[in-house]
Chains A and B, each alone.
Chain A
Amino acid sequence: MEIFDFFVNLYYEIRTFAPITQIVVISILFSSSLIITLFIYLSMMRYYYKKFSKHQEKLKPQIKNLFKEILFGDRIYTESEIENDYVKIVKKLNRENITLAIDILLEIKFRSKKKSDRYSKIVDALEFDNYLEKKLNFSKNSTKVKTLQKLQLLDLKELDAKVIPLAYSKNKELRREARFSHLHLSTNDPYRFLDEIKGDLSYWDEINLMKLLKIHKEKNQLNNLGKWINYSDNISLIIFLIKAAGNFKQEDTKEILFNKLKHTNYKVRKESYKSLGKIKAIEYEEYLMNHFFTEHEECQLAIIESIGDMNTGNAVDFLRRAYEDAKSVHLKKEIALVTYNYKAKYNLFEDLKSGQTGFDKTIFNHIETQLIKFK
């Protein structure tokens, strides 16, 4: 009661002050009480952090050893043995300890030089799928995003059905990650969401999509991307897929890429030129050379790169004319680089170099200097 009386008295005393003094006094009381509260909060935060990290530091080496033994050892563990051995270490199979197990397993999977086909044994024994499924159903969006990333890394294909509803989430990060996960996990129709991408792709989208397409390629499950290049009305997606078709050397897309050279958007043309080079579509080399002098500068650079990738030995005269016509240093450098690596009977590089003086000569010296890694 004394404290209550104190505050009541304080309230009436403050009311007698001038308005500015009232504000000042209330602010001081507010700040002071907040200082104490924040300090207590910080102390608690640090206390629990220390307790938690001590606990983890103690368990981590034991769990790592167990998992390494299961994954790379001679003995084949049964699921119940894995579960029992894990519970022996952590005492209780709760949420915190399963998260720890997932993190350690992923660390071993991506950091260890040894490969194993027994990852799924640990996943099944400790029922990671049940735990992650619950997380997908009952957690906040940011946790769902991280859970989806873990599904991909653990390759939990059986949870694909749980991913699809999230692919229509209002939260754009969650929607994006769910679509990536579907592309990774689905066995029936992984490319379903390529048709539904709206708006420009970010660079991060491209990096993730390329990673997933690469996984499909490694498993020989990569579809011909020409279908989407042809019919998509999303320019940003078309540009990305043209790039991917080139990267994965999809020869079946040649004709579609060639048709894209007539596109009004120079970025589409630029990527098509590059990809035709990567695919080594030498039948279109002449077309590329004929269109060089009327193209946008970025497309000119792409054509030169493409001619270099094709490396047919038939473009010596063209490269000479292109160099003589080139105004920008970038273009001159690119042509010099291509001629340096060009396999033709005639040494165009030396010929061009001998006619140069000043900075233009330095470009050629720069190109042939092996110590310069990034030209």
Chain B
Amino acid sequence: MAGEYFFEYFIFFYSTILIASYLMLAIFSIISIIKYKSYNSNLDDETLYNSDIAPGISVVAPAYNEEKTIITNVHSLLTLEYPLFEVVIVNDGSKDKTLEKLIEEFELVEVPYAYIERIKTKPFKRIFKSTNPEFDKLTIVDKENGGTKADASNAGINASVFPYFLCTDVDCILARNTLLKMIKPVLVEKKKVIAVGATLRMVNSCEVKKGRITRVRPPRDLIPRFQELEYIRAYLLSKMGWSLVNCVPNVSGGLGMFDKDVAIRSGGYDGRSHAEDMDLITRMVSYMINNKLKYKIGYIPLSCCWTEGPPNAKILSTQRTRWAAGLIQLFVVHRKILFNPKFKRMGLIVFPYAFVFEFLAPIIEVCGVISIIYLILFGKINWDLAGLVFLYSYSFAVMISILVVIWDNITFKYYRNFSEVLKLILVAFLEPFLYHPMITFFGITGYFKFLSSRELAWGTMTRKGVES
């Protein structure tokens, strides 16, 4: 009996602390958003765009079998607004016609290039540049397939020339002012800003013309729409909130700007990691702390990147199983950081929070389900109390999701109509029943696969391609 009560009380306190932390993040997040909106405007973009001394940025995007979308997306990257930037596309040994299409469209020729392998990667083959001056910002790196996005990104970093690099996926569509917006936190801070993140959304039902988003809509299909809400919550509430106290746990692999020198000194992306983005940030922060250097990880609330979300449960399971494996791998590889005061905020806030509320959450939820089944089977369940506890977490989850939708609307009104906002709110009510159990299951599967050392499918996702 004591054991049963212990678990019930444990669950209650665990969820109460989680709820409290979400409320705290909601407050942190709105403070950060208001602060950002107060002291940043489009007038700053004009100043930066016309500056002769703006720091250069290399946009690095790995491509593997992307023949469907590569041309439109590279054109889109080349139209970014910034005074000094280059676009480095890494063809990671594609088996389709990705490279051939690039060569034809951008009039590429092979050039001698002083490629310095500052980060070890699979063999680099050659570099292409365009003979058309219109595309003089474009560099194509051709290399042997490394099997991971990390390896390809590292080759792109090696070939890049500017002090900051923006890492993205070649299938992502970036807002034209992405570079202007994302470099700003680096410029205004006197401390070294080692990375900057921004919000990602789903491109699934958006209107896209010539590689540019012309109309933002919530995804029509339910699974991508769940992800839209999940992404907004993760970026706008969690990461934006943590940025107030310089505890951003992760800058997404889909869109992140990094200080190249620190990234290289930290060893670049780890090709063996299943969560290479969080791993890189962890190592960059460790590097700064080990060398007693002050640092900051910046975050902006704007949605700058649109990516195609997994359209069905099967593809979602591949993605989330890998993420979960990445999380457990991170705690295994960087275990010395957890609860270690030497690593300051990283060791005492970022890692413990991720461990208790992200890594342990699926395990505790599964234990909870098993416990309920046991209580039902033995007729020991108190249905009234169980219903109340369910309502307790359900009402809070819905409330937080609506709060995040409001934060999103305060930041910028991406959806034109209120009916589109309502579609997002609708999934907030359905998420705990349909989406969350799936994510928990995929999480547990990921842990199991990692612990049983089973091979995980890398981030190759079957894409429909964006209607253009």
Q: Please list the residues of chain A having a beta carbon within 8 angstroms of any beta carbon in chain B.
A: 20-21, 23-25, 27-28, 31-32, 34-35, 38-39, 41-43, 45-47, 49-50, 106, 110, 140-142, 145-146, 149-150, 153, 173, 199-200, 202-204, 206-208, 210-211, 214, 243, 247, 329, 333, 359, 362-363, 365-366, 369, 371-375
Contact = CB atoms under 8 A, between A and B. Distances in A.
Given A42-B405, A204-B184, A366 B114 contact: yes
A28 B186 CA distance: 42
B370 interface: no
Contacts of A142: 37-39
A202 B116 CA distance: 31
Interface in B266-292: none
B189 interface: yes
Interface in B361-416: 385, 388-389, 391-392, 395-396, 398-399, 402-403, 405-406, 409, 413
B86 interface: yes
Interface stretch (B46-54, B323-331, B335-343, B456-464): B46-54
A203 B396 contact: no
B399 A369 contact: no
For the complex of A and B, the 3 pairs showing the least CB-CB separation, nearest first, are A142-B38, A365-B112, A31-B395
A24 to B, nearest CB: 5
Interface in B115-162: 116, 129-131, 136-137, 161-162
B187 A203 contact: yes
A208 B47 contact: yes
A106 B47 CA distance: 13
A24 B389 contact: yes
A49 B413 contact: yes
B395 A28 contact: yes
B41 A149 contact: yes
Contacts of A43: 418
Contacts of A38: 399, 402-403, 406
A210 B53 contact: yes
Contacts of B113: 362, 366, 369, 372
Interface of B: 9, 12, 16, 19, 37-39, 41, 43, 46-48, 50-56, 86, 109, 111-114, 116, 129-131, 136-137, 161-162, 184, 186-190, 385, 388-389, 391-392, 395-396, 398-399, 402-403, 405-406, 409, 413, 418, 421, 425
A49 B250 CA distance: 33
B43 A146 contact: yes
A333 B53 contact: no
A375 B112 CA distance: 12
Contact of B392 (A27, A141, A145): A27
Contact of A210 (B51, B186, B425): B51
B389 to A, nearest CB: 6
Given A46-B421, A203-B188, A372-B129, 15 more contacts: A28-B395, A32-B395, A34-B399, A38-B402, A42-B425, A46-B409, A46-B418, A47-B418, A106-B43, A145-B39, A146-B41, A210-B52, A211-B50, A371-B109, A373-B137
A28 B47 CA distance: 49
Nearest to A199: B190
A207 B403 CA distance: 37
Contacts of B131: 371
Contacts of A373: 86, 136-137
B429 to A, nearest CB: 10
A369 B55 contact: no
A46 B50 CA distance: 35
B265 to A, nearest CB: 15
A32 B37 CA distance: 29
A31 B186 contact: no
B468 to A, nearest CB: 26
Nearest to A41: B406
Contacts of A20: 9, 12
Contacts of B189: 202
24 contacts: A20-B12, A21-B388, A25-B388, A27-B396, A28-B395, A31-B398, A42-B409, A46-B418, A47-B418, A49-B413, A106-B43, A142-B38, A145-B39, A199-B190, A200-B190, A202-B188, A207-B47, A208-B47, A329-B114, A333-B114, A359-B114, A371-B131, A374-B86, A375-B161
